[in-house]
Amino acid sequence: MESKKTSRRQTKIGVVVSDKMDKTVVVAVKRRLFHPTYSKVISRTSKFKVHDEKNECKVGDKVKIIETRPLSKFKRWAVKEVIEKAK
């Protein structure tokens, strides 16, 4: 019997905003939430330091990131795939 193991690790989609570090990129992830007091939908942006083993990501690329073990003080995410290259 073979069974597929589903990953419990979170994935997010975001845009690379900085690639100046070696093997690390900064990815901005946007999310929309409903504000209960003002009854409006507002945008929030979170920035994650993400491990990029092959240094393949450039500023403006749309990437999928996956949760991983702590790699340094701030890095807990890794690039899973580049969805769309920057124009």
CATH number at residue 54: 2.40.50.140
Please check whether residue 67 lies inside any domain of the structure.
Answer: yes
Report the chain's mean pLDDT, rounded to a whole number: 95
Please check whether residue 6 lies inside any domain of the structure.
Answer: no
| Overall number of domains in the chain | 1
Specify the pTM.
0.87
Please check whether residue 16 lies inside any domain of the structure.
Answer: yes
Q: Locate 38 and state its tokens.
A: 């003002």
What lies within 8 Å, CB to CB, of 17 at 6+ separation is: 26, 27, 28, 47, 59
- The answer, yes or no, to whether residue 16 has pLDDT greater than 80, is yes
Looking at residue 51, what is its pLDDT? Answer: 98
Please check whether residue 1 lies inside any domain of the structure.
Answer: no
Please check whether residue 58 lies inside any domain of the structure.
Answer: yes
User: Average pLDDT of 57-65?
Assistant: 98
Q: Which domain holds residue 63?
A: 11-84
- The answer, yes or no, to whether residue 1 has pLDDT greater than 70, is no
